[in-house]
Homo-oligomer: A and B are copies of this chain.
Amino acid sequence: MKGKLWPRIVAAMLGGLLIGAAHADIPTVPNELYEALKLDRAKVTPKELHEALVKRYKDPAQGAGRGTLAQYWEPIPYGIYLDPATFYKSPTTNKEVASRKECVECHTDESPVWVQAWKRSSHANLDKVRNLKPGEPTFYKKAKLEEIEKNLRSMGRLAEGENLKEVGCIDCHVDIGAKKKADHTKDIRMPTADVCGTCHLAEFAERESERDTMIWPHDQWPDGRPSHALDYKANVETTVWAAMPQREVAEGCSMCHTNQNKCDSCHTRHEFSAAESRRPEACATCHSGVDHNNWEAYSMSKHGKIVGMLGNQWNWEAPLKDAYAVGGQSAPTCAGCHMEYEGEYSHNMVRKIRWANYPFVPGIAENIKSEWSEKRLDSWVVTCTQCHSERFARSYLDLMDKGTLEGLAKYQEANAVVHQLYKEGLLTGQKTNRPAPPAPEKEGYAYTLPNCSGRKATALQPSN
């Protein structure tokens, strides 16, 4: 599979050289995305790709915004930061009209740690990036910057031959390349993923391709889910959250389910350090807790413990592909395995998904030996054999599959008992005390599961 990529890469490079034209045949973006957007990957320009991506990204019919249960999601003040595209308004209390330079000056006093973090960022040090030498772990950033400039030229945001001087407050919070002063009361925006994706088009397209590659063989989940690309939609479509009168508690789920909307859950503002986001702790704030205890499992594993012991000796500035050989890494991270697919790294993290965190979702367990699933298992073996033999990898993955099925069977056995008790009215206080749930939740044995997915887990209802 890896082999199939190279002709495309070479062709793309030659294409770029020969005609000098911008193109957006991004090797790490799967065909499925180009097909879904009806784009010819050999010919599409960065501008065209971005426009097509943004059109879908902003389309309420395709997952943007408040969703079909919007009437139940009474906005809370903090919500403007969770879905800025829907809720954010420029501040009215601050009347300042400020230039690019004045933003920095004033916020050095007003919110100094913003400015300190930004000053450490690549955004504020583009010349350092340009001067990187081959052999330095971050040398890849030089090519990345050139790619970004090509994107901006294609979109008419940089003139031919013009270089990007810096990325400052005003570029993200007002307009990329803004020349005019900005009025706080009218011009300030909270950057959404499409804004980041203007420059970081490859990463945006990779992430958006999750919609096109997380397609289940029997609709176990809706198309494109679960994924980061549609995680806000998953949240707002969950009836049990929508139904809760305790709006602040419900929005506790939204706190993490914002990767669809913005990029700073992993790339903490305002340094946006890739080195930081490669660390497993970057994933932990969301991927933890009783309903998806990935961090707990990982951090107590040998893999996680080695990162805990030795991680501070490694060079996290090395890109994921060089993490072991150049970064000195000796154990895998969340990003290292989940962003990898057949030897390539991208922001699509769902191409090897088989269990999707919730084995009890109907159809998941039944699917685990399907051809669809076995193909994904094979891709996992590619991942694991960086460090393990194929026999080790396959026997371990087999252990995990079977152990999961065994746990699921025990769960279903217990669940059937409880369901029967429910049907016979024998649960404590069931007949007299249990209030009907508020709409849109419906009465019944199983409410929609709090699995952050919006999926009805009918496995909970064996005889309904």
Contacts and interface: CB of A to CB of B under 8 A. Distances in A.
Contact of A324 (B116, B281, B402, B409): B116
Nearest to A117: B330
Given A76-B395, A93-B391, A276-B306, 14 more contacts: A76-B402, A77-B394, A77-B399, A93-B390, A116-B324, A246-B410, A249-B403, A251-B399, A268-B306, A276-B309, A281-B305, A281-B306, A295-B300, A312-B312
Contacts of A251: 399
Interface in A221-272: 246-249, 251-252, 268, 271
Contacts of A113: 324, 330, 386-387
A295 B301 CA distance: 13
A284 interface: yes
Interface string A89-120: 00101000000000000000011111011001
Nearest to A244: B406
A174 to B, nearest CB: 15
Contact of A78 (B112, B248, B324, B395): B395
A317 B324 CA distance: 22
A117 B325 CA distance: 10
A111 B284 contact: no
B268 A282 contact: no
Query: Main secondary structure on chain A at its contact with chain B?
Result: helix
B276 A387 contact: no
B271 A385 contact: no
Contacts of A295: 300
A249 B81 contact: no
A343 B330 CA distance: 33
Given A246-B406, A301-B285, A306-B268, A81 B252 contact: no
B248 A114 contact: no
Residue of A302, A325, A396 with most partner-chain B CB within 10 A: A302
Residue of A78, A116, A276 with most partner-chain B CB within 10 A: A78
Interface residues of A, number: 66
A281 B312 CA distance: 14
Contacts of A402: 76, 247-248
B325 A300 contact: no
24 contacts: A77-B395, A77-B398, A77-B399, A91-B391, A111-B387, A112-B324, A112-B386, A113-B324, A116-B324, A117-B330, A120-B330, A247-B402, A248-B402, A249-B406, A268-B306, A268-B330, A276-B306, A276-B309, A279-B309, A281-B306, A281-B308, A284-B300, A288-B300, A295-B300
Contacts of A249: 403, 406-407
Interface of A: 76-78, 80-81, 91, 93, 110-114, 116-117, 120, 246-249, 251-252, 268, 271, 276, 279, 281-282, 284-285, 288-289, 295, 300-302, 305-306, 308-310, 312, 324-325, 330, 385-392, 394-396, 398-400, 402-403, 406-407, 409-410, 417, 433
A111 B81 contact: no
Closest 7 CB pairs of A and B: A77-B395, A246-B406, A248-B403, A78-B395, A113-B387, A248-B402, A281-B305
A117 B328 CA distance: 9
Could you say how many copies of this chain the assembly holds? 3
A406 B248 contact: yes
Given A387-B113, A388-B111, A399-B248, A305 B282 contact: yes
A390 to B, nearest CB: 8
B389 A111 contact: yes
B325 A112 contact: yes
A329 to B, nearest CB: 8
Contacts of A117: 330
Residue of A120, A248, A390 with most partner-chain B CB within 10 A: A248
A433 B413 CA distance: 12
Contacts of A388: 111
A392 B252 contact: no
Contacts of A268: 302, 306, 330
A303 to B, nearest CB: 9
Contacts of A389: 91, 111
A385 B110 contact: yes
B385 A111 contact: yes
